[in-house]
Amino acid sequence: METDHTATPPNLVLEEDERPVEGWSDERGRLTWRPLFSADATPTDQLVTGVAELQEDGFLALHRHEQAETYYVLAGEGVVTLDGAEHPVRAGSSVFIPGSSEHGIRNTGTQKLRFFYALAADDFSDVEYVFS
């Protein structure tokens, strides 16, 4: 089914703590996330957003996907790897990840690393993660 991008989506206000928690604890990473907006769960399109958390020693392994993505670090400290280059991040850091760029993130601090993410996609299921 094709999404009608000409229709005006409804105004929505969501509470993060009321959204379901998803996560991985394997070679892909040790992290949890709460999807906020995604066409599979909300009457929205063109953007997938959520909040991810990495506990101490948590990580999201190096991967690629077609869609561009941004991170905005809400709390904690870590390192983002972008096409082989490491960049320290902390609360207030913003990261742009072009589509198909290899990237990953890991917590380097002693507290939870929390970040908001946004992907240029209609639905989270449209994002095909290809791990390195």
Q: How far apart are CA 122 and CA 58, in angstroms?
A: 27
> How high is the pLDDT of residue 3?
54
Tokens 């960049």, located at residue = 87
Instruction: Provide the pLDDT confidence category of residue 11 given band limits of 50, 70 and 90.
Output: confident
Residue 94 exposure: Cα atoms within 13 Å on the Cβ side: 1
- What domains can you pick out in the chain, each with its CATH number? 20-131 (2.60.120.10)
Q: Quick one: pLDDT at residue 85?
A: 98
Mean predicted confidence (pLDDT) in 37-51? 93
Q: What is the per-residue pLDDT for 82?
A: 98
Whether the Cβ atoms of residue 58 and residue 107 lie closer than 8 Å to each other = yes
Confidence of residue 10 (pLDDT cuts 50, 70, 90): confident
What is the rounded distance in angstroms from the CA atom of residue 77 to the CA atom of residue 21?
22
Check residue 117 and give its pLDDT.
Answer: 98
Q: What is the pLDDT of residues 64-81, one digit of tens each?
A: 999 999 999 999 999 999
